[in-house]
Amino acid sequence: MSIGLFRDLVICIAGLVATGVLIFIAVLLYRLYNRTSAIMDSMRVTSKTVQGITSYVGDEVVKPVIQAVALAHGIKQGIDTASKFFQKKGKGGKKDV
């Protein structure tokens, strides 16, 4: 076996091995892409569900609570203002504390 024939044989074998490795890597990348694509679709569905839940909570729970707190604060302000009118004035026109 001459050195030229040996060289050509090594080049052919190396080419076949490199081609096999590239095909193997391509298959792995394709499977990874499919798996991550399914995971991403699942995450999109989950995020839309969470978005719907937070929207519902904001509309049905938080707004009435805010309205009730605002009403209570308004009533407290009204009582404080009305109580200022009925406080006795002390010496010098100042109100007693």
Task: Give CA 92 to chain center in angstroms.
Answer: 62
pLDDT per position as a tens digit, 36-45: 988 899 999 9
User: Above 70 in pLDDT, residue 96?
Assistant: no
**pLDDT value at residue 27:** 97
Q: What does the domain layout of the chain look like in residue ranges? A: 3-85
Does the reported pTM lie above 0.75?
no
Residues whose CB falls within 8 Å of the CB of residue 87, separated by 6 or more in sequence, listed in order: 95, 96
How many whole angstroms separate alpha carbon 63 and alpha carbon 61? 6
User: Above 90 in pLDDT, residue 76?
Assistant: yes
